[in-house]
Amino acid sequence: MTNPAQDAAATGSTWPTILTWRAQSAPRMESVRVQLLGNRIKAAGRIIGGECEEHPAFSASYDLVTDENGVTRRLSLRTSLASRERQISISRDEEGYWMVEDGTTHTRSTFGGALDVDVVLSPFFNTLPIRRYGMQHDSEDIQVPVVYVHLPDLRVRAADLTYSSGPDGIHVLSPVSSSSITVDADGFILNYPGLAERI
């Protein structure tokens, strides 16, 4: 029996496409429609989680746009829980400053020189630095500052992720996990042990 994700990796993906991941140890899925134009990415996705020890039941949707170098330009995120709904907008200007707005507060920061946003519980957002640095093709050891967004409460802080890539995959060290992941030829996650696998 063949694996559709691996088949797509072997033959090359057709864009736009929809990528879907299933969490390995929690009742959660993520699905995203991705458009590529060179290094530019436009993505619209949704994460749905059932109640478990890790998180309450929630739904989150996002829209992401990068520039022609794969650097995040803007991200809008909306979450729904039984008790409330929240949304935030995160954007980066030409001077390298990020603006985080949630309807009541506005934060402006460089977030340590971050070029990417990373969303906890999402395998999709790891693709941003992987593609920009070409880690799916070359061996790299890189520390990546990010705007780190927690789900489902949408807390935002600065964080550093460390990526070490080689012939056996890419090792990722984040504030919440350490894992060796596999990606397809385009740099999109196939398997992130402990988080999710593509289906």
At 99 the pLDDT is: 98
The strand pairing partners of 134, in sequence order, are: none
Distance CA 135, CA 187 (A): 7
For residues 93 and 110, the answer to whether their CB atoms sit within 8 Å is no
Low-confidence ranges of the chain (pLDDT < 50): 1-11
Exposure of 16 in the CB half-sphere (CA atoms within 13 A): 11
CB 101 within 8 A of CB 89: yes
pLDDT of residue 13: 61
Q: With H, G, I as helix, E, B as strand and everything else as coil, classify residue 125.
A: helix
**Which pLDDT score, from 0 to 100, does residue 168 have?**
77
The pLDDT of residue 6 is: 46
Among 72, 55, 56, which Cα is nearest to 64's?
Answer: 72
* pLDDT of amino acid 8: 42
Q: What pLDDT is attached to residue 35?
A: 97
pLDDT at residue number 73: 97
Is 125 in contact with 117 (CB distance < 8 Å)? yes
Please give the structure tokens belonging to residue 70. Answer: 């794969």
Q: What is the pLDDT of residue 7?
A: 42
pLDDT tens string 8-46: 444 356 789 999 999 999 999 999 999 999 999 999 999
Give the length of the chain.
199
